[in-house]
Amino acid sequence: MVDIDTVTDEGLHAFHEAMATGFGHRISPELTEQYRGVTDLSRAFVARDGGAVVGTTRSFATEVTLPGGELLPTAAVTGVTVMPTHRRRGVLSSLMRTQHDDLVARGEPLAVLIAAEAPIYGRFGYGPATWHADVDVDRGRARFAQPGSDGHLRLAEPAEMLEIAPAVYEVFRRGQPGAIGRPDPLWRRRYGEFGDDDERKEAAERFHAVSHDDDGRPDGWVSYELRGDFEGMRPAKHVKVHELVATSARADAALWRYVIDMDWSVKVVADARPVVEALPWLLVDRRQVKVVDVADFLWARVLDVATVLAARTYGATDSLVIEVVDRFLPDSGGRFALDASPAGASCTRTATRPDLTLDARELGAACLGGTPLAPAAATGRMVEHRPGALAAFDRLFVGPTPPWCHTWF
């Protein structure tokens, strides 16, 4: 018999030890102590079998930026594991049910996570809501279409970045659908204030260039490192971009120019970039920005349909009655009348015959405006009760600015 409990202060190391085992690595008691002050124990759950921890999950409170700029209170779910000895026994389902009942009781209308394995989370009502691309830039062939200047850039140390980056990111995320708020521990880990030895070493090897506007205020930054070496007497390094964030087109162009024009490098590699961004348009030949992979990133799960759908704006003006089938949390499903427009929306429960029926996972995928559902119509997972309802849904939900999240948690 597996029991689900919240984590106690005394049980924190057992929680982290089981979580590390689930992900296939080890964790020291010393590293657990670093997490003691940054883990909300009331939001952490364990599955126990005879007293031994055999599964874990936790969450933290954050916000997701919706189309239109509303910051929606959101639960970020992380640390979801089951011990190898207890898989396929319903442990994960029990953990997720307890956790999601807790999130509903907290009044958090949306939950998000990063899915290590895509097939797992659809059955819990999650769908892939944001997408990102990994890109390579051939430095030798990349020429900028317009002249520019790097006069507004300077290098900064990690301690400075802990002051600069959060302020810039706050401005950035308010204009970027899909971006999440970053609590302080995420920033401190990013710049090497805590973490295991490998994480701190990686953080210490990175450089940080900050862009400033004409008044001297930071308006963007890029964190990067130089990898590789020389081949004979020829430089063969590449620039690995870990993060590039800008709040203006000028800053974005200046930061890309900085890393692409860097001496001793032959290539720029950047992971987790927006699928649609300005970079290719900055160059004479956009083919020099090679997309090497496109993948889902943030998965969303709608817990309060009316609240989430009423909080965002839409790509057209229309009305739809949407029936949401929620097999995991039946009380969250039902029929909802949505009156939507680019200026805002209202959404209420209704008994009216639906125009469209879809599963909670499809609504999760679509709710941030980045995943049209029409391509999946052939699967039969959406049912049109009124001809054209699915096309109308996509016209409403797919926004002009694709959602993007690049915050690992």
- The catalytic site residues sit at 121, 409
Q: Give 3-state DSSP helix, strand, coil % of the chain, rounded to 5.
A: 30, 35, 35
d(CA 132, CA 403): 9
Phi, psi of 250 (to 5 degrees): -65, -45
d(CA 261, CA 144): 10
Phi, psi of 310 (to 5 degrees): -80, -15
Residues 6+ apart with CB under 8 A from 379: none
d(CA 244, CA 265): 18
Tokens of 245: 């964030």
For residue 103, the one-letter residue type is L
Q: What is the CA radius of gyration of the chain?
A: 23
d(CA 98, CA 124): 12
What is the full DSSP assignment across 206-241? Answer: -EEEEEE-TTS-EEEEEEEEEE--EETTEE-EEEEE
